[in-house]
Structure 1
Amino acid sequence: MKRTDIYPMPEFFERYINLTDDVELKDAFAISLQELKQLPLDKWEAIGDKVYAPDKWTIKDILQHMIDTERILTYRALCIARGENARLPAFDEESYARHTDASNRTLEDLIDELSLVRASSLAMFNSFTEEMLQRSGLSFRGSYSVLALGFIVTGHQRWHLNIIKERYEVLG
Structure 2
Amino acid sequence: MLHLFLMVMVMSTGLLFCRTNHPLAMGLTLLFQTTLISLISGLMAPTFWFSYILFLVFLGGMLVLFIYVTSLASNEMFSVSAKAFLLSASLILGSFIITLITDPLLSLGTISHAIMSQSLETNVLPTLMFKFYNSYSSILTILLVTYLFLTLLAVVSITNIFQGPLRPSN
Report if TM-score (shorter chain) is over 0.5.
Answer: no
- Greater fraction of residues in strand: 1
TM-score (normalised: structure 1) = 0.25
| Bigger radius of gyration among the two | 2
Q: Which has the higher helix share?
A: 2
